[in-house]
Structure formats: structure tokens, C-alpha cells
Structure 1
Amino acid sequence: MLGFELSPEQQQLRDLARDVALDVYAPRAADWDLNRTPLPHEELKRLADLGFLGITIPEQYGGHGGTLLDALIVQEEIAKENRQAAFHVFESNVGPCRVLEFFGTEEQRQRYLPQVASGDIEMAIGISEPDAGSAATDMKTKARIEGDEVVINGSKRWISNGGASSHYLVYCRLSDAPGAKGIGAVIVSADAEGVSFGASEKLMGFRGIPSADIYFDDVRVPISDLVVEAGGFRKLFGVFSIERLGNATMSLAIGQASLDRTKAYVAERQQFGRPLIEFQSVQMTLATMAMQVEASRLLIYRAAVNAGDGLPDSYETSIAKCFANEMAKQVSDLGMQMHGGNGYTEEYGLERLHRDSHGWAIAGGTPAIQRVRIASEMFGRSFNQRPEAIQR
């Protein structure tokens, strides 16, 4: 990893995360997936006590003041064994709380960030809507300011940890300005009057990570919970680049786990009187898997390291996410093929890795959307995807 060598402290952090993942979370992964079990509260507190929920949160707000790369290292190790547990490391280090860190008020940071680090609250993000997915600026959820309150009406869809998180950073229209110009964000508590949730979706993957719609019916929150005012969409999606690197790291973990399991399997499994690894076609496949995993890691590390204490570069982030998302699907599929019939069973875990790989390629902006963003960065301008007749 020329240029991205881990420091001794980061190696220790990785080893600790790996030990916890293997000892605590690997034995539970299959059962949690089968039964769609959300992370038990005591396990959230375990992650908090280990310091894994506050890696990137500044020390003055109860965290450890670590780097983005520190958080991604921990997330990968846990996600290789158990994506349900890793999701909560993801959410607290690269999720909506980072918007508070960069653009929230001092009062908001003091009030929320220590509770995120301690596991006392969880904050999810609400962007997508029934008619606003990739076209996020088509969102219709509205908020108006009345005195010292913000009043919210509308709905959000595909909310990861929806119905389980205690708080939500809700992207909404705060003015009548068209497109991105009217969009801002506000924190909403799950127990606020007028907030309700749909049934948790039964997804192909992401099992144990609830996904539910949220409905807002004249929900009133204090104006002190307004984080980004109308016109701040660019700020919000600047921070979302951090979340996209977390997403890419989930894909990296899936690819690495697929490679690790396949490497062990072909060394032991015999056909025609010799181990599978002795066949040249198997060697070629393993090499292809390894190249894709290593390339993904380097792209993610580049974006994380270059970000420093600021926001990742959009071009580097989109390349890392797009490549890692597609890598995870391809490598997990190759791993299933190398396992033969065993790869199609639940026992060996490859089918679970493959199912989860598709979810991360959809969440946070699909590879198709990332390619549009890459082209936009290459040419230094945005490309209008709308027919002229319906431009906003």
C-alpha cells in the first residue's frame, strides 16, 4: 500500500476491531441475517465502550478526534464479519452527525455529538422520497418556520435504520425556490408528535438493518434543530461524500471477505485428486479477485487521506464508490462460483455477501449516478439530466 501505510496506532486499532469482529460478531452474523435481527442495544453500547462510535467525533464533544481513515479501518474489519454491527459504526462516524460537525451550531454539536459517541442516541438520514431517489432535488417534503418552531410535512423513503434510530437528519424544502436552492436540513426526534413510520421493508440484503418510510404530519421541532437553511444543499452533499466513502468501505469489506473465504476454500477443497488451487483457471480467478479488492482499497484510502480534516474530493469519492460497489458484486459472485454448489448454500456465507453487495451499490447514489458525477468533475460542469420542458 505505497503511500497509504498504516501507522502503528492504526494497526493496533485494526487488530482490536478484527478481534472483536471475530470473537463477538462473526458467530452471530448468520442468525441475525436469517431472523432480520436489529443490533441489540447492549451491542450498541459495547461498540460505544470500545470507542468505535466516536472515532471521528472531536474530543471536545466526547469522541476520539480520529481521522476518517481510522473509522474506515474499523468499519471494514467489522463489516467483513457482520454488516449489521458495522452499520452502526458507519452511521456514527460517516453519517449525518458529520453534518453537525461541519455545519451545525455549537449548541447542536454540544447537545448531540456526545450522545452519538456514547450510543445514547442514533441519528439516521432522510433524503429519498417515493418520487425522489437519484433525482434528490425533486423532494417534496416541506418545512416552514413559524416563530421559534419548524413545521414539517411530507414523507421519506428507504430510510436505513428507519423506525429504530432515535433521531433523523431530514432534508426538506425550506423555501419555494426551485431545485436545490430551496433545500435545507433539520433534526427530528422519532418521538416528536406527528412522526410515524411504515412497516420495515423485507429487503434482499441489509437484513437486520431496518428500512422504513417516515411520515411527517405537522411535525413541530424547535428552530434550534435547524441545521442547514434553505440553499444549503451543496453543503449537505459535500458532507455526504464522507458517507459515500463509508458506503464504499462496506463494499470493500464484502469483497475482502469473499476473497478470504474463497482463498481458504480452494486450498482445502479437492477435485480430481488435488486441491482446487492447483488448477490454473482457479489461480487466474483468485488473482482477478485480489486485484479488484486491492484497487478498491487504494481508491478509498486515497480519498480518505487526501480529505485530511476536511471534506473528501467529489471526484475521488465517486470513483472509489463506483469501483468498490461494482467490485463487491463481481468478487462475491466469483467467490460463489469458486465454491461450486457449496457457494449457493447459506452455510458458507457467500450468498449472504453477494446479497448485501447489491444493497450498497444502490444506497448513497448508484454506480450510474457516480459515473455522471465523475464526468461532471472531469469537465468542470454539471450535466442536465432533465428534458428542457420540465427543468426546475
Structure 2
Amino acid sequence: MVDLSLTDEQQELRALAARVAGERYAPLALEWDRDGTHLPDAERRRLAELGFLGIAIPEAHGGAGGELLDALLVIEELAKRNQVAAFCAFEANTGPARVIEVFGTPEQRARLLPPIVAGEVTLAVSISEPDAGSAATDLTTTARREGDELVIDGMKRWCSGAGHAEQYLVYVRLDDQPGSRGIGAVVVDRDAPGVTFGPQERLMGFRGIPSADIFLDGVRVPVEDLIVPAGGFRQLFEAFSIERLGNATMSLAIGQDCVDRTAAYVQDRRQFGKPIVEFQTVQDQLADMIIQVEAARMLIWRAAAEAGRGTPDPLQASIAKCFANEMAKRVSDTAIMLHGGYGYHPEYHVERHHRNAHGWALGGGTPTIQRTRIVSQYLGRSFDQRR
């Protein structure tokens, strides 16, 4: 049986993150969402100084060497108050930086990880293309070797951080082998000659989290920046289980804040001469919200606790992400309904949460894809989607 109780150190870390989120980032959430404000560099450095960008990164590379659950606790507290601020901690602790930690060479880890932990660099992941979303192995961006360099040509889409992150972990096709066998990943600098960006997208949610197309035209990078060679795509997706738990935690934060705000609102709001929480229909809906949030938390914590400082079980990670993503959409929708007309107003925060909930369900493998993976992992067999 997995022990899901938090240690004293974890409780203190969680309390610190909650205090910082409440005092510093909660007052900025509506403004940043309204204006699409990206996280200022000064705030990224502030998060780094607090140690929030290296929680799960080894001490040898400037991090705290903590467990995955430690990082998720911080991500949840930040994300409940301000998802733009939380996204930086999400990327550093559960995003592409962890791919470098797991699969990079000692030299790559020593060179690439410390600047991320220090808040000097953000590393974004770039997988999707116009015709390669859920079918990621259809990607056509290529990287061919010329001497001591890789020459990259192609286009990437839906890259969160595009244009603002200083570096990108770009998934590329390294040879002519079909499907996943020719795919690997390479780090590309934002300022490398041949890298350009399309206009910033204006999305339903994720406002303040940059998103744009990336164009790579004869981009040359040293071979030393190849993180995973051809044939390592399955390894990359194994490490992606870490990202899935980070994604699920962002959804968990949405659900928990919607519960907290709705619980307060229904006790304060009066109709027909009494607080609306006294109506059984309201109680039933609030109860369902609480149940779904707690269930999502247990699935996420179980997977993280069993992983410790390692990589989560892919089955557990897919289950947690699928459930948490759909929970956040349902719970935020119910929160809007229980707030009535006020739920449709940005000042009450739940409509923003609902918009962001849909974004987390789309990113990192949709619930539909996760269901396919769940069955595949549970049965120990693969399914060819092309037949």
C-alpha cells in the first residue's frame, strides 16, 4: 500500500508555495489573463530564488533533488492562483528539462540544466506539426547530419512558449525509417540562424502562455545538442509520463480552486430567503465536485509517490491525466452553473478556469489518446491506428 501522507517538509513546502501564490500571483491573475501577459523575466527569477524551478532536478545541477510529488505540490498551489506563474514551474519540473535529466549525457545535464534551475533559461518542448498532433509519429521536420552539425528543416505548431522560451527541445526525424523508429530530439536555441516564429496565437484559454508556429530553415546545431538519437521516441514518451502528471496537476489545481470558490459562494449567496447551499440540489452538485477533485488527487499522488525520484508508471500517469483533465472540465462547468450569472463574469475566476481546463485536456495527449494508451498498457499489447 502506497503511503500518501505528506512529510513535515512537504507540508512546509506546500505552505510556502500557497503563501507566495496568494500574496504575489493571485492579485495578478485577472490582469495577466485579460492582457495575455507573459511571465516577466523578473518573476521567473523570483521563482528560481525560491527554489521552485529545481525541486525535482538533481542537486549536482543546482536543484533540490526532491521527489516528483514535491514538485507537484508546488505546481498545484501556484496554479490554483495563477496558471501563468505555475506554467514556469510546470515546465522546469515536469517538462522537457526532465527529458534531459533522464536521457541526456552527463555533459548535457551539466550544461543545460543549471540555467533552467536558476531562472536564466526556459526550455520549451516542440512536438506537434500541422499534420502531426495525436499522430505524433507523422512528424516531418528533419535533422540531417553534416559533419559535427545537425541541419534542421521543418515547421512546428502549438508550441507553448514559442517565441519567448530561450531554448526548445524539438522532436525531429533523423533518418528515413518509418513511424517512430527515425525520431529523436535535439535542443535548439531561439536565436539560432534560420529559426523564426509565427504570430502569437490568441486562444480560448492559456492567455499569458505564449503559443506560436516555429519555422526551421536550415538551422544548424552542434551534434552535442542531440538529446535522444533516432529510435528513441519510445524513450521520450516514457519520460513524457512525468509531464502527464504535471499536466494532471494543473487540472487538479483548477478543480480545487473551483471547489473552494464555489463552497464559499453558495454559503454566501441567498435566494428565496436562505443561502443556496441549503438546497439539496446545490449540495449534490457540490458533493460531486469535491468527490471528483479528491479522486483526481489520489490518482496523481499515487503515481507520483510510487515514482519517487524516478519516472512514473505510464499506465498510472495516463489514468491520472485522463481523469484529472475531464474532472477539471466538469467541475469548472458546474462551478459556473452554481455561481449563476456571476460564474460568467471574469471577476469570479471560474470562467477562466473553465477555459484553461480545456487547454490542459488538449495538451500532452488528449483523454481520447490516453484511453487508447490505458488499454494498451493494461493489456500489454499495442494497437495499430493506421489499419
Q: TM-score, normalised by structure 1?
A: 0.98
Give the superposition deviation at 1:308. 2.0
CA distance in 2, matches of 1:146, 1:361: 39
The one-character-per-residue Cα deviations of 1:22-42 (angstroms, maximum 9, x if unpaired) are 000000000000000000111
Give the superposition deviation at 1:48. 0.3
1:190 aligned to 2:190?
yes
Letter in 1 for 2:330: Q
Compared CA separation, residues 79 and 148, structure 1 to 2 (3 A): same
The one-character-per-residue Cα deviations of 1:103-130 (angstroms, maximum 9, x if unpaired) are 1011111111110000011100010000
Q: Quote the residue 2:55 is aligned against.
A: 55
Q: Quote the residue 2:228 is aligned against.
A: 228
Q: Quote the residue 1:390 is aligned against.
A: none
CA distance in 1, matches of 2:97, 2:318: 21
CA distance in 2, matches of 1:360, 1:310: 23
- Listed as ranges, the matches of 1:209-228 within 5 Å are 209-228=209-228
The one-character-per-residue Cα deviations of 1:229-260 (angstroms, maximum 9, x if unpaired) are 00000110010110011000000000000000
Q: Quote the residue 2:152 is aligned against.
A: 152
CA distance in 2, matches of 1:292, 1:20: 27
For these two proteins, the number of residue pairs brought into alignment is 387
The one-character-per-residue Cα deviations of 1:273-303 (angstroms, maximum 9, x if unpaired) are 1111111111111110000000000000011
User: Is contact 2:22–2:81 with CA below 8 Å preserved after alignment?
Assistant: yes
User: Is contact 2:66–2:309 with CA below 8 Å preserved after alignment?
Assistant: no
Q: Greater shift after overlay, 23-32 or 307-316?
A: 307-316
Letter in 2 for 1:300: I
Letter in 1 for 2:62: G
1:264 aligned to 2:264?
yes
Give the superposition deviation at 1:309. 2.3
RMSD: 0.9
- Listed as ranges, the matches of 1:1-392 within 5 Å are 3-387=3-387
CA distance in 2, matches of 1:138, 1:364: 16
Partner of 2:165, secondary structure, is coil
Compared CA separation, residues 339 and 2, structure 1 to 2 (3 A): farther
Letter in 2 for 1:283: Q
CA distance in 1, matches of 2:146, 2:327: 48
CA distance in 2, matches of 1:337, 1:233: 43
CA distance in 2, matches of 1:221, 1:376: 36
Structure 2: give runs of 5+ residues left out of the alignment: none
The one-character-per-residue Cα deviations of 1:287-336 (angstroms, maximum 9, x if unpaired) are 10000000000000011111122211111011000000000000000011
Give the superposition deviation at 1:58. 0.4
Letter in 1 for 2:269: R
CA distance in 1, matches of 2:150, 2:305: 38
Partner of 1:376, secondary structure, is helix
User: Is contact 2:69–2:308 with CA below 8 Å preserved after alignment?
Assistant: no
Give the superposition deviation at 1:2. 8.1
Q: TM-score, normalised by structure 2?
A: 0.99
The one-character-per-residue Cα deviations of 1:75-129 (angstroms, maximum 9, x if unpaired) are 0000001000000000000011111111101111111111000001110001000
CA distance in 2, matches of 1:102, 1:253: 26
User: Is contact 2:2–2:306 with CA below 8 Å preserved after alignment?
Assistant: no
CA distance in 1, matches of 2:249, 2:107: 31
CA distance in 2, matches of 1:128, 1:160: 11
The one-character-per-residue Cα deviations of 1:319-364 (angstroms, maximum 9, x if unpaired) are 0000000000000000111101111111111110100000000000
Partner of 1:137, secondary structure, is helix
User: Is contact 2:56–2:309 with CA below 8 Å preserved after alignment?
Assistant: no
Partner of 2:347, secondary structure, is coil
The one-character-per-residue Cα deviations of 1:8-59 (angstroms, maximum 9, x if unpaired) are 0000000000000000000000000000000011100100000000101100
Give the superposition deviation at 1:3. 2.7
CA distance in 1, matches of 2:147, 2:107: 19
